């Protein structure tokens, strides 16, 4: 029986599915094949066994930090400065995508079993871990918020490689299952230095995504300085980062967690698909208003899944700097807006 699976058997299943799926996804030309393979591995175990399989929290933080290092190595500070001319377009798209997620939350709250607070924080796009952490203190049903938030991330992750491959046909596939590696010494020095300094800085920054943002910033500065020459993260470390992110998102979808929102699942999925389509249209608008290409605009406006979005951008040959900047602007807006939203909804509940 699925419920009788031991922890060792569960780990073996996750590893086996991850390896096979990663190879298949790579052969199919999907970006970030290891991330999506490990995502599938985690989901297969979580939905077929009652055995609680969790990795240490430090491993998820390591995966996040490594993704930050990977993205930081490809960020162009000159390109980032040049984006100032597109500030108005980026601002409009940021406001638009934020309003789309809030509208989806309001629609979810039309159900009798979902409060306005729960609906808003379940559907808001960006900063899933931070929103989940705040949910109970804000008077929301934290179980619903947790499952719906990570379901949103899951749907984004599942649809992103398909849309990227089928619609945009990217020519690049850096960091998937390639094995070519040069300048190993400087590359490892870059990774170690960026991780040490970045993780230390992350401890001083009181926001949930600092474990990604701090190594990303340090990596961008170090790579742009040219002190170590042209650097990149060794491919096996890229695999490790993508696998740690993917498997832990997949493992969150246990049968009990999915059962907790079974009655509202059709509505939630419909709203999320609508969000993804609406934000993709915002991406098309961004591509029309700026010189950015369609794939970059799509990834820049995707509603959540920051770590996977940045990894996919790095793998698919899109403008990683642009994707990072637009995604981070929206994340910062949401982090700044969350306390105000909580007060507004709190007043509505009391009234």
Question: Residue 18 has what pLDDT?
Answer: 95
The pair of three-digit structure tokens given for residue 58, joined into one six-digit string: 């430090």
Has this prediction a pTM greater than 0.85? no
DSSP 164: I
Question: Residue 351 has what pLDDT?
Answer: 43
CA 58 – CA 76 distance, rounded (Å): 29
The pair of three-digit structure tokens given for residue 252, joined into one six-digit string: 């969150």
Q: What residues have CB less than 8 Å from 94, skipping those under 6 apart?
A: 326, 329, 330, 333
The pair of three-digit structure tokens given for residue 239, joined into one six-digit string: 């695999």
Question: Residue 1 has what pLDDT?
Answer: 46
The pair of three-digit structure tokens given for residue 314, joined into one six-digit string: 């790095």
SS3 at position 19:
helix
* Helix boundaries (H) for the chain: 7-27, 33-48, 57-74, 77-82, 87-108, 116-123, 128-135, 142-163, 184-202, 210-225, 235-251, 255-259, 265-289, 294-301, 306-316, 320-350
DSSP 3: G
Question: Residue 58 has what pLDDT?
Answer: 87
Residue ranges of domains in the chain: 56-245+255-350
**φ/ψ (deg, to 5) at 258:** -70, -40
**pLDDT block averages, 10 residues each, the chain of length 351:** 75 94 83 83 90 86 86 74 79 87 90 84 73 66 79 82 76 46 79 93 80 86 83 87 86 81 89 91 88 89 79 78 83 69 60 43
């Amino acid at each position: 029986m699925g419920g009788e699976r031991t922890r060792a058997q569960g780990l073996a299943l996750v590893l086996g599915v991850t390896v096979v799926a990663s190879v298949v996804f790579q052969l199919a030309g999907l970006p970030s094949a290891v991330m999506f393979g490990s995502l599938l591995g985690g989901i297969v175990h979580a939905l077929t066994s009652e055995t609680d399989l969790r990795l240490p929290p430090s491993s998820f933080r390591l995966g996040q930090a490594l993704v930050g290092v990977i993205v930081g190595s490809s960020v162009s500070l000159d390109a980032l400065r040049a984006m100032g001319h597109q500030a108005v377009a980026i601002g409009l798209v940021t406001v638009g995508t934020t309003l789309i997620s809030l509208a989806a939350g309001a629609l979810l709250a039309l159900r009798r079993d979902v409060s306005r607070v729960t609906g808003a924080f379940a559907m808001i796009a960006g900063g899933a871990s931070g929103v989940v952490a705040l949910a109970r203190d804000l008077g929301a049903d934290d179980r619903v918020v947790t499952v719906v938030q990570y379901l949103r991330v899951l749907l984004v992750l599942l649809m992103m490689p398909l849309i990227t491959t089928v619609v945009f046909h990217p020519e690049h596939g850096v960091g998937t299952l390639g094995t070519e590696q040069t300048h190993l010494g400087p590359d490892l020095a870059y990774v170690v230095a960026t991780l040490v300094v970045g993780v230390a800085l992350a401890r001083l920054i009181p926001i949930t995504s600092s474990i990604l943002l701090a190594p990303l910033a340090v990596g961008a500065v170090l790579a742009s300085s040219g002190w170590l020459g042209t650097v990149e993260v060794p491919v096996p470390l890229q695999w490790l980062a993508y696998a740690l992110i993917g498997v832990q998102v997949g493992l969150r979808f246990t049968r009990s967690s999915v059962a907790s929102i079974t009655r509202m699942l059709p509505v939630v999925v419909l709203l999320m698909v609508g969000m993804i389509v609406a934000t993709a249209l915002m991406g098309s608008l961004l591509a029309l208003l700026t010189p950015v290409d369609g794939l970059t605009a799509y990834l820049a406006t995707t509603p959540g899944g920051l770590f996977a979005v940045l990894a996919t951008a790095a793998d698919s040959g899109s403008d990683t700097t642009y994707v990072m900047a637009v995604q981070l602007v929206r994340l910062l807006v949401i982090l700044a807006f969350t306390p105000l939203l909580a007060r507004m909804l709190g007043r509505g509940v009391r009234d």
